[in-house]
Every structure is written in structure tokens, then in C-alpha cells.
Structure 1
């Protein structure tokens, strides 16, 4: 595909990003002069302005700005190659829905900021609820779940059901299921009788149709704003898919992967602007007098699914919100439904205390560890939010594994650096995960220590200069992945050498094995070989009985640096120079 065919497709719309735009903007572009038609005055037209947003770049670990046009967007995210007439038909339909939702939300921001009551018709509420669900459903995380070319790569907990569905409907790629589901959700008519429930169950993947129904029918929508003028809401990359509620999790000791076994969504969040957020609150938290039927048994059933039912409540139970007032239109006598398309919904804006705002931002920050970006409006508010998050002692938050490459541990270290850049000095209080993590090998420990010192040599924790010469597009995640892979190369070398030391092979045969190992290693990316050599040179700088004790200063420069530069400047000589680099560095 040529670059001219690629499009940045947003999973958080531009109209929301614009509400977070930075107060520091470059000068606006001059108006364009248009040649007047006969009998008309000279006209001027202003270019559509691409505002900048302030963001935390978690990949480069810096505070920076990014144009609205490129933030929270993926290339060709909604491009449906199976739709030959218009591969971007999903984007067109999403744009149409966003346009309708933006009109409602612009009015909400305007009227609620003045303290007025927001009155919406049923069709407007339905548009907003569908929009909010699709914000959750088309998030980058959900896209990653489905973004596979082959069903063997699909590893979510509903794998068995997905396989059966794909086989019955003739889908070959999980991604095509997602495209099809999106199309059905966008096309469905939200009628007052709610016949759309049965329609979706037969037209799309049933589990996701059920997710849509639960999202729309079993929670109510509340508009909220910070009580304090100094407080603001953050906009994380996955904000619209974050929920508040208990999770019973498990850890696979083989893969060190944490998976939820059971979870309950008491609250979902939709930041609209720094001063306005929509909170979807579960009906499970409504008082009994606001519900029809006996809900006590359902609340109990939900709690008892968890490992600790007594702790399966909501940390936002005391959130000062309630359902909106609804003016029902008398339905026609020939229908059993009490809902009508002319029903009116009256929303007020609830003010949240600094403690509640902090809790919501804490939840957003807690789940941003797997993302690359956090958008904010005020630096002071961001600083305060990170400090609140660091000092929070909420059980279950900031749990890390005893592994220096644990993603959340690395993320918290990045936030510490960002807080320092903002003028703060607080350190993060994290909790070691209760389930013991697997033991790490000396190779990984030395690799992490070596890599950490290499990072400290650069300005503001930037990646090592030579590493970037070899891999210019790398970010911190790529760097740490290469460090991990280099440590595995050393582990393989160590185990192979140990095996050869007790082997009955002849010296010639042992030499042949080592030569094959070398031939194998030089096929790896050159930046990984460079890191491998760095780590090798520092293995003897740690105590052999307790490798967590460093006995000598680490060596951070060597012959491999010179050859790495040659390789960067003369890539056509890579194979020859890589062999020389390996031989000179290891002798």
C-alpha cells in the first residue's frame, strides 16, 4: 500500500481532543484569499486549524505537544479491505455518528457550564449512548484483541466461542469479525421499543451484542464536573474502556501474564473535556426504591462471583450522582411499551469533590501503563494528579511484579521522571504483587543494570546514541525488549557452554557447536547484538555467588561502539562488520 492511501483514523474523535487543546498554540495561519466571482466581494477563507494538545509521551518519556490530527489515531484502523467499493465505509459511518454526537456534547458543555439543565430527546440520548459504547468498542485495546490475520493468533478468553462463530459465519480473520460487528452497531436503528436487542443478537457476534445491551440498559448516564476550579480530568489513550469495579485475577506462572477471571463494571468513564466527564453508573448501585423488582439477589450473585465477596464493592459508592429526570410521553394504546420516541430527559451536572476527581484520575493513570500517551490540559493539574496517584494507598493499585522489566514497574518509573520534569519530587509507593514471580537469571539482572546505566548517560533518560544510530525509530519499549532478548542470548550461551563443559564431544566438535552459535547470533538485529556484547563485558562485574551485588564499575564503552557506528554509516557492509564487531569485542 502506498503512503498516499494511508489515513490516520481516530479512536478518540478530534472534536473531543480539541476541547483539551493547549493554551499555548502557534500563531494561526493567515486567511486564504479567494478570487471573487463577478458581482461578488472579495472573500477570505481561514484554513481549518490543527490545534496542538499537551501530552505525556510514554514512549519517549517526555512532555510534548502533538497535533490533534495525529493524536489517538492509528493508520488505516477502520480500513475494511473486504469492502471493495469503499474500504473506508466504516470511517464514513463513524464520522456521521460523531457529527451527531458532537452536536449533543457541544450543547451539553455549553448549557451545563452555565448551570442550566440539559434537556435531550430520546433519539439524542440513544445517539450518545451508542457513541459512548463505540468509543469503548473501537478503542485501540479492543482493536488489538481482534487485529489478527489468522484465528490461531486470537487468544482472548472467549476463544472457543469465537472459533465456533467464525466457522458458522464463514469468517477467516478475527479482524473481519470486528469490522462486521462495527457495521452492525453503526447500522442498527435505536427504536424506543428496543427491538434492536433482538436484531443485533442475530446479526453480529452474540457476546459483543450482549456487551452492547449491558452497556446501554444496565447503567445510567451522569454528567460531572470538578467542584474545584483547579481540578481537571485527564484523557488517557484507553480512557473510554476503563471501568471501576472489583476484579478477581489470576497469574500464569509460566507466562507471567495477569488475566481477570471475574470483573464487575460499576462505573465507566468518558472524559469530554478537562472540566466535563460522563460517568456511566451501574444500576447495581441504585437504591432499591429506584429499581423495579428485587435486585438484592442480583447484587449478591455478582459479589459472590468474586474470590472475596465482602471486598467486591465500589470505591466510588458515595459518588454524588443520580439518574436524570425523565418526562414520559403517553404511549399509544396499541403498544405495551412505556417508552416513546418523544420522551424527554433532563440532566443536571454533578460537582465532584477533589477526592472523587483524584480517584477517577487514579483509575485512568493505573490503566495507562500499557499505552503510549496521556493528554492533559493544565501542567499543574497533571502534576497534582500524578502526585495523588503516587500517594494513593488503595489496595490493588500500583501492584508490580518482582521483575525489572515488568511493564507497570517501567511505567511508574516513567511517571516519576515526568513528575520531576513538572517540578515534583514525590516517589511512587507501589506494592509488590502477592504471587511470587519466577526467579530471574543472572543474565537478565546484568542486562537491566547495564541498560539502566546506558540510559543514565544520555540527556533526560534518552536512548543511547549508538543504539539510535542502529535503530532510529526505536522507543523505550523497543529498547527494553531488545535488552530482554539480548539477555536471552546470554542465557542460551551460558547453558550451551555449561553443557559443552561436561560433554563427551571432541574439541573439534565443540568448536563447531560454538561456531554455529556465533553464526546464529549474528543473524539477530544489529542493535540487539550491540547490547549483547555490552552485557557480556559486564557479567564479571557482579558477585558470582550473589549476582545482585555489583563488585566493579560497569564498562559502558568498547570496541563494539566503533563497529556499530561503521555499520550505521555503511549498512551494505553489515554482515562483514558485524562479524568483526563480535570478534573484537569478545577478545
Structure 2
């Protein structure tokens, strides 16, 4: 379908481009106004119109140009929906962008104006900060790279490395084209209410394509935001088509089903968002050094060991961040203070996040070397794009020269499937730099890009999956395992879900290691973020994650292996979580993952501390582990049984609790050395529920399964003392 009107739509907002622009002056009539100039001019490039200095990277040669601000970093009808026939419906995404840009622009203008006024910092509320974080992700997700990824009329034209997952998602949610998924994801994120309690992290993956929802959560929660400015007045940050998609950190490569080499896993140490020639927002991975958390040598060593040992295993021993020594810190807020270099909650703080919380972002001055490194990262990723924007013509030669003649340890590497294109790109920048007066030659190197992850064709995996399912009429251990996986919603994507589940385990172990020595508030926050993110996973993937987590906890082998084989099942096959998979029809929506989580974590803890007689040890005053550990197992982790997520059990529990409150606790209180009277009442409710469990659940599942569920449920999920 063709659009009735052509509209140039920007993927970099004009309020950001305005910071790079200046009023155009006609070289033949420099002192005449727009109306007095009689020269012919192209559209939007009359005297007084805003223009931007650009490096045009389109063939046959790179050149410096001056383009109208309105005609760069965009494309005609980029966000128009061809499936709609009415104009306002076609433009709904562009209209939503306009409203959000209006809100975000006020924050960006304040950041720029406060800096220009000489202020040391800018203060944002939590609502403003969250809007800014959301907008930074959208700058990435709405860009030209994602337009190329999603803008297809046919599902079979989608060719990114998550192809199988996206096509399965389209089928399940009745999307006709990949473009429809992209538009839906954009709308979902723009409409997202980021509540301070972070309930949105659990809800978002259920509302949009899960992998991209998870990416958004990581973007907002696993990086901290800092604002940088060049310390030297002659330095500036450039702007490229894809600068908001660029990261700094190691990456791997894989070959897809067609044999083409594509990007695989990557570790984003830093991400970037230029907002003016003199200001850039840097997102820094929480795993990297932080002076206010690394004040203690033991904490610093734990952070380094956790980070580098984990990343070296995946990306090689030489992996490191080029910007590790970037002089930035986390922003300050109104509910914590720095004491002896360490962050502590202020007196009286109740641990709750509020919309009115204040965050104070310092303008961090960075030296020429760091500015060059960031610009070099942008230039190194500019191969294949069309435009580089800059502000001062005096600076562009030095910017290009720094890249062309600088070190090539992490930059200017020629390799992969199309080395000639990359080499030509670098030579083009060298030629342009020499045209501007540079005398320095290009420094570059070659490297064979060997895929670090070997993958079999999807058809081979699906055939293997089917073969295993059909073996011995589905009675083999592997077939039984895969039957449960499929019952939880898993498809013939087992080879994708296992690595994803392994990455979740790996990520959790890194974050927990980094939390060692931090305040209890930070540790609880990190656990909440991880738990909330992971519990939003598909049930099948979360089930695999819990199995790999137990495997990793007891050191069977590396749970983050990348080469997936069905033999991995032999090491993670059986566990108490399986009974929930077998009876998945019994639970309310969103309850299944939580029940499996409670069960597996309690199983890990009791096995780790060899607590074989839970109730004898917890009732005793002579205990081998802390009361806090018993309290976590019995009360803190499971909560109340009346909220367990099994409707019949919840109804029974509420009825029993009302009766006990009315008639008094029959049989008296349990004599736990810890726990309040209300918690002792909870134990009595569990005892009464267990005695009536089979009657309440009769007919809901096979008798054998109900007996097995009863054992696991009252032994591990909601630990219940024996009747005697």
C-alpha cells in the first residue's frame, strides 16, 4: 500500500539536532536576511534556517557538507503503518513519539541550560529520571537499525538471530508482520507506567516480545547513568546515525542458518547518548568499578574476580573495558548519604522508593583521551551508515585524525564476511582527514573472525527434538523431561532456551558477587530486581533456569555452556519443581513461576546447609544455623498460604484462618524460638490446610500427582510442621 502523503520522520529528535545546529548564512549574501537574499536555495536551507555540519559517508567519496536540520537522521514515512487506511491511524506511532519527545525535551533542555549556566549538577525527580531512561532506550529501539530489523511485510523476511523466537511469538499473539511486533513493542514501552515499586518489571514481559522487554529492563536497572562533558573547550562529541545503538565491550560472532556471520553475545560495559556537542549521557554497567562501593579492598577484589572471571570465560582472557577509568560516579539522592566514602541510608529512611525522590547528576569533566575514545567508538561503528554530525569545523580534522592514526587494539579491525567494505570505509576517512590537512597515515590490523559459538541448522534441532520425543513412545527420561518442558509452553526452541537460562544463572551469580560488602539495602534491591526480571520469563525457560541454578549451586558443571546438547538434560533432569510442571493447570496466572521459585530456593538452602530435620532443628534452642535462615525458609520466602496461587487452597486457607481467629488456635501455639503470634497462626493454618488438602483438590489431578504435590508443597514450598 502506498501512502498518500510523504513525511520525513526523524529517528533522532530535532530538539537534540538543534544543539548541533546553527543559522545558515548564504555565502554570497552573508549580511543579508532571508528576504533580501536573491540566491536559489534548497528546501529548508534559506538564510536563517537551522543547518548542521555533516560528514556525508555515501559513495563515491566521503565529504563535508552542510545539511538542513530537518533533513537528516530520518527517512520518509519511517513509522507509518501501511496496514492502516486512515491517516491518523497510519501516523499513530509518530504521534506518540511527538508527545513523548515534548515531555523529554523539557528535561534535556534543563540539562543543557544548567550546564551552560555553569551549574555543577542537575536535579531530577524519580519520574523525570525514569522518563529519561525510557527515552534513552527508545532512541536506540526506534533507530534505523531496528527499522531494518523489523520493517518487513512477510515473516520469512525477518533474519535477526532471534528469528525462531520472534516467529513463534508472532504466531502465538497473531501478529501478521515483524513490523507489527515492532510497533506494538514501541507503543507498549511508551505507555509503560514505571511505578517506584517496580511492578512494571514483572508486567512488561507479558505485554510485549519477551526478549526485548528483558533488554529494556536490563537497560534501566543494570546500568547507572552519568553525564559527561569535555574538560577542554575545543573537544566535542559527534553524532552518528547509530550512536544510540553503540556499546563499548567485547562481543562474539555466530553463523546463522544461511552461513552468514552475525553478532552473537556481547557484554555492554558502556552505552552512550550524545545530547549536545558538549554533553553526553553515559550508561555504565553496574559490574564495573565504582569508588563508593570499592572503598574496601576485599569488595573491590570480589567485584573484579566476579566480573573478569565470568567475562573472560566467555570473551577471552584479554577482555577489558577501554573506559574502565572513566572518572564518573553514581548520582546522589535524597535518601542516602556518603560516610567515609561509602553510601548509607539517611537516618529514618524506610527503604521505600517514591515518585518525589530527588537525584542529583553531576556534570563529570572528562579529558581529551576519553572524549577521543568515545568518538572513536562511534566512528568504528559508522561503517555502512550515511551521516556524521559535528558542531565546529575546526574540530573535525582532529576527530577524524584521532581515529585514523590512533591505536588499533580494539578499533579498526578488518575481518568477517565483508572485509573489503570495512577497509574501504577506513581508507575513506583517512583520505578525508588528509584533505583537511592531516599528515598521519591509517593504522589498522586484520583479524580472522572465528565464530565462538557453533550452531546447527534450526531444522536439525527440530528433527532431533521430534526424534527424542518419539523415542520409546515418550517414556525415556529425556522424552519425559521434554514433555514437561512443552507442557509449560516450551516449543522446539530448547537449544535457545537452555543458553538463555544459563545466561540468567550466570548474570545472577555475577550480581550477587558484586553485592558482597554492599549495604543490606543495596543487596535487597539487587535481589528484588533479579527476581522480578527472571520471574517474568516464560514458564518453560524459568523452569530450565531453576534447574540450572541448582546445578550451578552444587557445582556439577558450568551452567552457562554455549554449545547446547540434549545430554545436558541428564544432569538437571529431576527436581521438586517438576510436580508443578505436571500440574500446571491448577495455578492462577503468574503463580506458577513463583511456586517453583520458592520450592527450588528452599530445596537449595536445606540441601546446602544439610537441614534434614527442619522442624526439630528450628524448634530447638540448639541450632546449627541462624534463626534468620529458618525464618527465611518458613515465612519470608513463601509468605502466607492463603496467597499461594492455587484457588482451592487459597479458599481453604482463608476459611481455616477465619475459624482459628474466631475459635482460637486449637492445640496451642508452636514453640518456635522466632516468629510472631501471627506467624504461629500461619503455621496452624498450614497444618489444617494440609489435613484437608486431598479432599479440597480431589479430582483436579490424578491421585498420584496430588500425593506428590502435597509432599513437595508442605515440605518445601510452604513448610508445615508435622501433626504430632
TM-score (norm 1): 0.66
Structure 1 residue 3, shift from structure 2 partner: 7.1
- The answer to whether the aligner puts 1:14 opposite 2:14 as a matched pair is yes
Q: 1:77 corresponds to which residue?
A: 78
Instruction: Indicate if the aligned counterparts of 2:24 and 2:48 stay in contact, CA closer than 8 A.
Output: no
Q: 2:364 corresponds to which residue?
A: 350
Instruction: Indicate if the aligned counterparts of 2:96 and 2:190 stay in contact, CA closer than 8 A.
Output: yes
Q: 1:499 corresponds to which residue?
A: none
Separation (CA, whole Å) in 1 of partners of 2:196 and 2:19: 32
Separation (CA, whole Å) in 1 of partners of 2:22 and 2:63: 16
Instruction: Indicate if the aligned counterparts of 2:416 and 2:449 stay in contact, CA closer than 8 A.
Output: no
Q: 2:41 corresponds to which residue?
A: none
User: Aligned to 1:311, which of 315, 318, 334?
Assistant: 318
Structure 1 residue 90, shift from structure 2 partner: 0.9
Q: 1:325 corresponds to which residue?
A: 332
- The answer to whether the aligner puts 1:299 opposite 2:314 as a matched pair is no
Q: 1:421 corresponds to which residue?
A: 435
Separation (CA, whole Å) in 2 of partners of 1:205 and 1:94: 20
Separation (CA, whole Å) in 1 of partners of 2:418 and 2:356: 58
Structure 1 residue 423, shift from structure 2 partner: 2.2
Deviates more, 1:225-234 or 1:416-425: 416-425
User: Aligned to 1:88, which of 81, 86, 91?
Assistant: 91
User: Aligned to 1:161, which of 165, 170, 191?
Assistant: 165
1:136-157 deviation per Cα after TM superposition (whole angstroms, max 9, x unaligned):
1111011111122112121111
Instruction: Indicate if the aligned counterparts of 2:23 and 2:47 stay in contact, CA closer than 8 A.
Output: no
Instruction: Indicate if the aligned counterparts of 1:264 and 1:302 stay in contact, CA closer than 8 A.
Output: no
Separation (CA, whole Å) in 2 of partners of 1:28 and 1:145: 44
Deviates more, 1:311-320 or 1:416-425: 416-425
Q: 1:107 corresponds to which residue?
A: 110
Structure 1 residue 295, shift from structure 2 partner: 5.6
Matches within 5 A, 1:353-364: 353-364=367-378
- The answer to whether the aligner puts 1:382 opposite 2:396 as a matched pair is yes
Separation (CA, whole Å) in 2 of partners of 1:73 and 1:411: 22
Q: 1:214 corresponds to which residue?
A: 218
Q: 1:365 corresponds to which residue?
A: 379
Separation (CA, whole Å) in 2 of partners of 1:359 and 1:347: 22
**CA gap 1:10/1:337 in 2 versus in 1, 3 angstroms:** farther
Separation (CA, whole Å) in 2 of partners of 1:28 and 1:69: 20
Deviates more, 1:59-68 or 1:220-229: 59-68
**CA gap 1:48/1:193 in 2 versus in 1, 3 angstroms:** farther
Structure 1 residue 22, shift from structure 2 partner: 4.3
Separation (CA, whole Å) in 2 of partners of 1:434 and 1:290: 39
Separation (CA, whole Å) in 2 of partners of 1:7 and 1:53: 20
Separation (CA, whole Å) in 2 of partners of 1:281 and 1:234: 19
Instruction: Indicate if the aligned counterparts of 2:52 and 2:391 stay in contact, CA closer than 8 A.
Output: yes
Separation (CA, whole Å) in 2 of partners of 1:195 and 1:29: 54
Separation (CA, whole Å) in 1 of partners of 2:128 and 2:52: 29
Structure 1 residue 99, shift from structure 2 partner: 1.1
**CA gap 1:158/1:239 in 2 versus in 1, 3 angstroms:** same
Q: 1:266 corresponds to which residue?
A: 269
Q: 2:67 corresponds to which residue?
A: 66
Separation (CA, whole Å) in 2 of partners of 1:411 and 1:200: 40
**CA gap 1:48/1:96 in 2 versus in 1, 3 angstroms:** farther
1:22-58 deviation per Cα after TM superposition (whole angstroms, max 9, x unaligned):
4754465459xxxxxxxxxxxxxxx996411111111
Structure 1 residue 425, shift from structure 2 partner: 3.2
- The answer to whether the aligner puts 1:52 opposite 2:51 as a matched pair is yes
1:347-386 deviation per Cα after TM superposition (whole angstroms, max 9, x unaligned):
1101110000000000000000120111111122111111
Structure 1 residue 131, shift from structure 2 partner: 0.7
1:438-487 deviation per Cα after TM superposition (whole angstroms, max 9, x unaligned):
xxxxxxxxxxxxxxxxxxxxxxxxxxxxxxxxxxxxxxxxxxxxxxxxxx
**CA gap 1:295/1:396 in 2 versus in 1, 3 angstroms:** closer
1:380-416 deviation per Cα after TM superposition (whole angstroms, max 9, x unaligned):
2111111111122232311124999722112112212
Structure 1 residue 286, shift from structure 2 partner: 3.8
Structure 1 residue 179, shift from structure 2 partner: 0.6
**CA gap 1:81/1:245 in 2 versus in 1, 3 angstroms:** same
Q: 1:230 corresponds to which residue?
A: 234
Structure 1 residue 189, shift from structure 2 partner: 1.1
Deviates more, 1:367-376 or 1:106-115: 106-115
Instruction: Indicate if the aligned counterparts of 2:253 and 2:450 stay in contact, CA closer than 8 A.
Output: no
Matches within 5 A, 1:142-291: 142-250=146-254, 257-287=260-290, 290=293
Separation (CA, whole Å) in 2 of partners of 1:189 and 1:137: 18
Separation (CA, whole Å) in 2 of partners of 1:129 and 1:28: 41
Q: 1:529 corresponds to which residue?
A: none
* Structure 1, gaps ≥5 residues long: 32-46, 438-587
Give the aligned CA root-mean-square deviation in angstroms: 3.0
**CA gap 1:435/1:206 in 2 versus in 1, 3 angstroms:** closer
Equivalent pairs, count: 416
Matches within 5 A, 1:130-141: 130-141=134-145
Structure 1 residue 297, shift from structure 2 partner: 7.0
Q: 2:599 corresponds to which residue?
A: none
| Greater RCO (CA < 8 Å, at least 6 residues apart) | 1
Structure 1 residue 247, shift from structure 2 partner: 1.4
* Structure 2, gaps ≥5 residues long: 27-31, 37-45, 337-344, 452-724
Separation (CA, whole Å) in 1 of partners of 2:3 and 2:167: 34
Instruction: Indicate if the aligned counterparts of 1:262 and 1:305 stay in contact, CA closer than 8 A.
Output: no
Separation (CA, whole Å) in 1 of partners of 2:150 and 2:303: 35
Instruction: Indicate if the aligned counterparts of 1:122 and 1:344 stay in contact, CA closer than 8 A.
Output: yes
Instruction: Indicate if the aligned counterparts of 1:249 and 1:259 stay in contact, CA closer than 8 A.
Output: yes
Instruction: Indicate if the aligned counterparts of 2:332 and 2:361 stay in contact, CA closer than 8 A.
Output: yes
Separation (CA, whole Å) in 1 of partners of 2:80 and 2:141: 16
Separation (CA, whole Å) in 1 of partners of 2:199 and 2:33: 49
Separation (CA, whole Å) in 1 of partners of 2:389 and 2:438: 19
Deviates more, 1:148-157 or 1:198-207: 148-157
Separation (CA, whole Å) in 2 of partners of 1:181 and 1:436: 34
Instruction: Indicate if the aligned counterparts of 1:328 and 1:340 stay in contact, CA closer than 8 A.
Output: no
Separation (CA, whole Å) in 1 of partners of 2:182 and 2:218: 18
